[in-house]
Chains A and B, each alone.
Chain A
Amino acid sequence: MRDSREFILQIAQLNKTYSGNQVLNNVNFDLKLGEVHALVGENGAGKSTLIKIIAGVEKPDPGAEIIFDGCPAVNLSPSKSVQMGISVIYQDISLFPNLSVAENICIGGQKGPFIKWQQMFETARSALNKLGAIDIDPHMALGEISIGQRQMVALARALTHEARVIIMDEPTSSLSANEVKALYNTIQILKNENKSLIYISHKFEEVFRVADRISVLRDGELIASKDAREFDEQSLISMMVGREIRFPPLHNEEVAGKKIFEVTGLSKEPLFRDISFSLYENEILGMTGLVGAGRSEMAQTLFGLIKADKGRIFMGGKEISIKSAVDAIKNGICYLPEDRRGQGIFRIQSMAKNITAAKLESILNRYRLLSRPKEMAVSEYYMDRLNIKPRLPDISADKMSGGNQQKVLFSRWLNARPRILIADEPSSGIDVATKAEIHKLLRELAASGVGVILISSDLPETLAVCDRILVMRNGNIVEQISSMESSQEELIRKGLMG
């Protein structure tokens, strides 16, 4: 072993098998004192499993060697790993929204049977100050502050509990640009404190910005672990997916066809107002805007989950009335929600049941009862078509990676025979390869006559995929841009900022 003082964490010969499926294969990973080590890889590459093992949530297969601060760490459990100074900040920051910021920071750390309130607020204040988060009031309830601020609270918590290794899983996925900047500063502060960070992200720009070293996982194997300066974006992508991937523009070259869908004057105060737009055959309509611009709410109104105050909806020239999601599906309007875990996937149910959920009529036999052979056939058809692997319809959905879950959701809506498919942030938290597959799928759908509305905050994605782009701000459509225009990117930025 190398000099143990340089490394806070060393992992050797790490294997992990879930019921016969090898998800980590002889992984060797180490983390130096005071470094930011980025961990990249596609969904299902094994990043989460590696993190869970370090956090003590999952047990490695026998034979693995984990050395923390020079001492072998055996039989890790979640509490033991916290004690040793390992702190994980998960994507959906697991804190208590009803408690104050100070309580969230200090909980579990104070000694004695009583809470020392004064001391608690002081500790919280000083930890937040140290991170440069002077604008956060420790008395506020956590639920009242923004996601970015909650992240700061989670970091302050790690600092207060004397964490030595901080693991961040997709920390920027719901942050605004300013919050991301603040996070970069905080990371620098943590580094100066000689903390070690493991940073998981799908965004390369970010990885290159913060990481000292980068490790690439692919199919459970550690492909490379090198100084960040030795990588560039292309080489990183090709290592992750094992081949070169680019996002070619996928525009529809032909002039817009006939109008298939139209919305006029759709309003729901205070979420959005006076939304009017049309959708043409073979077109992908983009909808972009900042978080809270009202895009998802507008989509959920079209899908019948929110009742509009006023407005009219036309399908193929005929006015339709949508009072519920059942009406929406009947009319061929399908909505793929943004929050995969909270609104999309039935986690404890099988992939097959997830796929057929929105259209059980598609798997009925002649007695109007569910037919298992039909359900298998439908599921396998979509698993083949969307390249969902492993192709085992009976596996419960929470055993699958995020990318596969997203494909399952696409399958669900394809099976519902959409005339209009609204995909809300379909590629968030998804690896590059799956992202490209989803883009291709959207284009194929549009070509086959389905009206596609893509809601996305990812500008390169919007520009690459959409034929026309609507920009929403504070519940209004403020800009309509065609892909033919030259300065679209600038127009969008202008629209976003106002």
Chain B
Amino acid sequence: MKALVSKDQNHEMTLLFILIVLGIAFSIFSESFFKIGNMLAISAQMAELSLLTLGMSVCIISGGFDLSIGAMAGLSSVCLAVLISSGMDMGLTIILVLGLLLLCGLINGILIGYLRINSMLVTLGTSSVFMGIAIVISQGRAISGLTEEFAVFGQQYLGVIPVQTMILIVILAFSFLILSYSTWGRRIYLIGSNYEVARFAGINCGFNIMLVYVYSAAMAFLASLILTSRLATGRADLGETYVMQSVAAAVFGGIGINGGSGNLAGAILGVAVFVIISNGFNMLDFSQYAQQIVIGSILIVFLAYRAQRNQE
């Protein structure tokens, strides 16, 4: 009986184990890997993918997908850069762009939650719309001219800790709390386990699902805030590569692809494994492409192992 209950924890233990093995391996081959400075750098590198993965994970738990997070991040990045470089106040810009993204999320949410259109199709469509708008606004160019002040989100430190790490910690704590301890979070799990049963249990599925996509839009906004600040440019395509990575990290982290299971701690551990591999390989001067091969292989092996174990 105990084994049944703690299956989830086992999964996170496995991930932690992989992390430690990777950590030891990289420390042996590279002296600079296991230094506080590098650890903090890793945490900063994690921030963007982690935030997007949080959004994606919540969507998957609710039984859907959000393929538009990349396009939303791009739109947000372009808008931030255009408005700030044109001299608008940073605080006001942030509020406006956040509002815009929440609106994007609301559109996704209404189409998916209330009109019951398949989430993958909806977000594929809206993704194209958001990306199109972002390209029109930016005329397809990278927009520079961001202020010094704006560098705070992606380039500066609070003491020794990178600002984006702080943002990630706060958002992670908040997300963990609402997903595990709010009625909304619980309902998301229930809807994701079986939509029909949730409906018959009197759960307001439309509203709760709508909020999922608003949440994921908010995460896309935060990720783009950090990315835009770190790169000091606004680009329409800056979120695209993260979409599939966030799905991979979520699944790797134990978020059940059929909905209703997994938790955010696992998803963040999944991101950590990916980022540590990438960081360690950079230190060893491996190419980007080799990294992709290794990450892909680990993902497949791990999923195969898990499928095997679940059968037993």
Contact = CB atoms under 8 A, between A and B. Distances in A.
Nearest to A357: B201
A27 interface: no
A19 B181 contact: no
B186 A395 contact: no
Q: Which of A335, A357, A370 has the most CB of B within 10 A?
A: A357
Interface extent on B, as a size class?
20 to 34
Given A305-B200, A342-B196, A370-B181, A394 B186 contact: no
Contacts of A390: 1
Contacts of A326: 202, 204
B196 A353 contact: no
Interface in B194-249: 194, 196-204
Given A349-B260, A392-B1, A396-B4, A360 B186 contact: yes
A70 interface: no
Given A349-B189, A370-B183, A337 B200 contact: yes
A343 B183 contact: no
B197 A346 contact: yes
A100 interface: no
Contacts of B186: 353, 360, 370
A324 B204 contact: yes
A369 interface: yes
Nearest to A349: B193
A343 B193 CA distance: 12
A214 B299 CA distance: 51
A308 interface: no
A20 B2 CA distance: 9
Interface extent on A, as a size class?
35 or more
B200 A394 contact: no
B115 interface: no
A399 B5 CA distance: 11
A347 B200 CA distance: 14
B190 interface: yes
Contact of A345 (B5, B187, B197, B199): B197
Contacts of A447: none
B181 A329 contact: no
Q: Which of B177, B182, B200 has the most CB of A within 10 A?
A: B200
Nearest to A356: B186
Nearest to A350: B5
Contacts, number: 85
A344 to B, nearest CB: 6
Interface in B246-305: 256, 260-261
Given A349-B189, A370-B182, A370-B183, A343 B196 contact: yes
B1 A358 contact: no
Nearest to A396: B4
A347 B187 contact: no
A371 to B, nearest CB: 8
A303 B199 CA distance: 11
B3 interface: yes
A134 interface: no
A425 B193 CA distance: 24
A370 B182 CA distance: 6
Nearest to A348: B193
Contact of A353 (B3, B177, B182, B190): B190
A343 B185 CA distance: 21
B203 to A, nearest CB: 7
B4 A347 contact: no
Interface string B162-201: 0000000000000001001111011101100110111111
A315 interface: no
A337 B196 CA distance: 11
Contacts of A21: 1
A427 B187 CA distance: 28
Interface string A385-399: 000001010111001
Contacts of A328: 202
Interface in A378-412: 390, 392, 394-396, 399, 412
A270 B180 CA distance: 43
A360 B4 contact: no
A364 interface: yes
A329 B202 contact: yes
Contact of A358 (B182, B189, B202, B256): B202
A370 B183 CA distance: 7
A361 interface: yes
A35 B199 CA distance: 45
A382 to B, nearest CB: 15
Contacts of B1: 19-21, 390, 392, 395
A360 B187 CA distance: 9
Contacts of A325: 199-204
A390 B200 CA distance: 26
A325 B202 CA distance: 5
Contacts of B180: 370
Interface in A354-378: 357-358, 360-361, 364, 368-370
A305 B185 CA distance: 23
Given A20-B1, A364-B183, A370-B186, A347 B193 contact: yes
Nearest to B260: A348
Interface string A272-286: 000000000000000
B312 to A, nearest CB: 9
A398 to B, nearest CB: 10
A360 B260 CA distance: 17
Nearest to B205: A325
Nearest to A325: B202
Closest A-B pairs by Cβ, 9 of them: A325-B202, A369-B181, A343-B200, A329-B202, A360-B183, A357-B201, A346-B193, A394-B5, A358-B201
Given A325-B203, A343-B197, 20 more contacts: A21-B1, A325-B204, A329-B202, A335-B200, A346-B197, A346-B198, A346-B201, A347-B194, A349-B189, A357-B190, A357-B201, A357-B203, A358-B201, A360-B183, A360-B186, A361-B183, A370-B182, A390-B1, A395-B4, A399-B4
Interface of A: 19-21, 303, 305, 324-326, 328-329, 334-335, 337, 342-349, 353, 357-358, 360-361, 364, 368-370, 390, 392, 394-396, 399, 412, 416
9 contacts: A21-B1, A325-B204, A344-B200, A345-B197, A346-B197, A357-B201, A368-B182, A370-B181, A370-B186
